[in-house]
Amino acid sequence: MNPDYLFNRDFFYFSGMDIKIEKGDRYTTIRVLVEKLNSQIAPLLKSEMILVTGEGESNIILDVSACSFCDSAGLSTILVGNRLCKNSNGVFVIAGVQEGVERLINISQADKFLNIVYRVDKADDKMNSLLDKKE
């Protein structure tokens, strides 16, 4: 077993990497557990989203509620997640967006096409609503 992460079938936590992945029935939730979504964490997050979608998951909730800052690398990773889900006919929801992350999303005008939920406790409802519309 790789010592860099602990896992079972439905839950992954990357020790020292500050990302938590939970697979559900209809979607996977990826939680970023660090304050800054920047060039330090973005490559790992991007890789994990690529792996998750490569394993057949097309619906992702990205929980960034712990992040108060986002740089261009973080934004790029968010956009990659959205594109991966869209290309696999899935749904991407970004949840728990704080002011520092929202600012960059708005400047880039990504708020026009991203599914944003400001309260994490509403992400499940938003995802299920969007999935129900697709069926």
pLDDT tens profile 42-52: 999 999 999 99
Instruction: State residue 100's pLDDT score.
Output: 92
Taking the C-alpha atoms of residue 121 and residue 127, their distance in angstroms, rounded to an integer, is 11
Helix (H, G, I), strand (E, B) or coil at 8: strand
Residues of the chain with pLDDT under 50: 1-15
What pLDDT does residue 15 have? 42
Task: Give the pTM.
Answer: 0.87
pLDDT value at position 5? 43
Question: Which two structure tokens, joined as six digits, stand for 97?
Answer: 């967006």
Q: Are residues 91 and 134 in contact, defined by beta-carbon separation less than 8 angstroms?
A: yes
Range of the domain at 31: 5-134
pLDDT of residue 18: 85
> Residue 17: its pLDDT value, please?
60
User: What's the total number of domains in the chain?
Assistant: 1
